[in-house]
Each structure stands twice: as C-alpha cells, then as structure tokens.
Amino acid sequence: MLYPAIGTRGTFASVLPPKLAPPLTRLHLTTLGMPRVELASVRHILRAIATTVVPESSSLDDRAWKDFEELISQALSGRDARVQRQLVVFLRLLQTLPVLRYGRKLTALHASQRSAFLESVERSRLLLVRRGLWGVRTLIFMGYYTRVDVAESIGYRANRDGWAARGGTVATVPLAPTLWVEP
C-alpha cells in the first residue's frame, strides 16, 4: 500500500513569512469554500517550466494546456489559500532569479539554460527552494501524466479486466525474455 501523490499541501508553506499568512482560527469547526486558484498571471512561467520538466508537453495544444492548468487549479483549490499564494510567489521567483546569472528572465532563456537553471534550483542549499521546485514539478507531472492520451502514449495499459484484457494469464501471455537470459 503506497500512494505518494500530489504533495501540494504545505509544499510552499514556509516560502512566505508568517506575517503574510491569514490569521488562523479553529478551522476544523467550520467549512471553508476555497476559491479556485488563479494561474493566469503566471501561466507563461508555468508553461516554460513545464516544457523543461516534460519536453513533450511543448506539443500540447491550447485545449490540452487548458486542461493541464485546470487540473492543477483543482488540485490546489482544496488547499490552504496560503499554499495557493505561495505557488504564485514561487513561480515569480523562478521567473526573476535567472536575471542574476543570465541577465534574462526564465521565460526568455534558451531551453538548455532553462534546464541548467532549474537543475541548480533542484540542488539548492536551501531546503525551501528545493522543495518548492519539487512541488512545482510534481504539479506538472500530475497535469501531464494523468492525461489518458499521455498514459496510452507511453504504453501504460492497466485495465480493470486485468489478465483477461491481455488474453489470459502468464500461461498465454509470453514471459519476459530477460527471465531466461543470463545477464
């Protein structure tokens, strides 16, 4: 039993100083209607990072990008509003930081520079920065790899009918050749 999934609650929980956080009450006694997170202002940054994290995503059409963003927005909508704001702040930080090294913003970098920059962020000495990128890449993987067409394109074929959908059990489905070859 193991399902390590979206990982967004608290991903950016410490990026903002506490004074910017909303006053906390005993929220468990109330029901909060969380607003849908607004990604429009950082859409170009998110897409630039997405095409670096998953290069194949550059071939997504407008409709697919919309679905991608909707999925991320939905995943965030049930979370603490602070987390949603932290995502936006962190994306803007990623957009601006390359100016120090490359003299250009993230979205203006060549693909190889963008990749190198994000790899440096991934190895940052600051845990907050590393986990921030980890959260962003997780959201991007979620937005991309949970698409049915993408799952099919990479050869993922799990089916509720299991062995029957493959024509039978291992008695009829050939075993992997590697089982019988000495390495």
Partner 1 sequence: MIEEREYDIVIVGSGAGGGTVAQELGVLARAGTRVLVVEQGPRLRDDEFTGREIDMANALYEDGGGFLTADGTMTLAFGRAYGGSTVVYTGTSLIAPERVIRRWHVPGLAHDDLERRSRKFMAQNNVHELTPELINDNNRLFVEGCRRSGWIARQFPLNLKGCRGSSLCNLGCPNAAKMGTHRVQLPNAESNGVDVVTRAEALEVGDHTVMVRVSARQQGEKGLPSEWLPGTYRIRAHLVVLAGGSIGTSALILRSPIARTIPHVGTGFTCHPAHILVAEHEHPITNDVGHPKSYYLDRAEDERFVLETCMYFPFITAKNMTGFGSSHSQFMRAFPRLQMILVLACDRATPKNRITVNAAGRPVVHYTFMPETIDGLVAGTRASTRIFFAAGAVRVHAPSADPPLIERRDAAQADALIDARHFLPGRISVSAAHLMGGCAMGQPHSAVTDSYGRVHGVPWLRIADASLFPDALEINPYLTIMALADRVAEAIRNDAGMLLGGRSALGNTASRPVSVHR
Encoded amino acid at 73, one letter: S
Q: Map residues 60-99 to x or -, x wherever contact with partner 1 holds by CB under 8 A.
A: -----------x---x--xx--------------------
Q: Which stretch binds partner 1 (CB under 8 A): 24-32, 40-48, 62-70, 94-102?
A: 24-32
CA-CA-CA-CA torsion sign (175, 148, 36, 114): positive
- Nearer to partner 1 (CB atom), residue 41 or residue 166: 166
Of the candidates 163, 142, 148, 119, the residue with the CA atom closest to the CA atom of residue 4:
142
Within 10 angstroms of residue 177's Cβ, the number of other Cβ atoms is 7
- As a whole number of angstroms, the distance between CA 135 and CA 122 comes to 11
Q: Which stretch binds partner 1 (CB under 8 A): 10-18, 34-42, 61-69, 99-107?
A: 10-18
Q: Which of 17, 18, 103, 177 binds partner 1 (CB under 8 A)?
A: 177
Q: Which of 16, 89, 93, 150 binds partner 1 (CB under 8 A)?
A: 150
- As a whole number of angstroms, the distance between CA 65 and CA 2 comes to 29
- Binding of partner 1 by 173 (CB under 8 A): yes
Footprint of partner 1 on 94-113 (CB under 8 A) = none
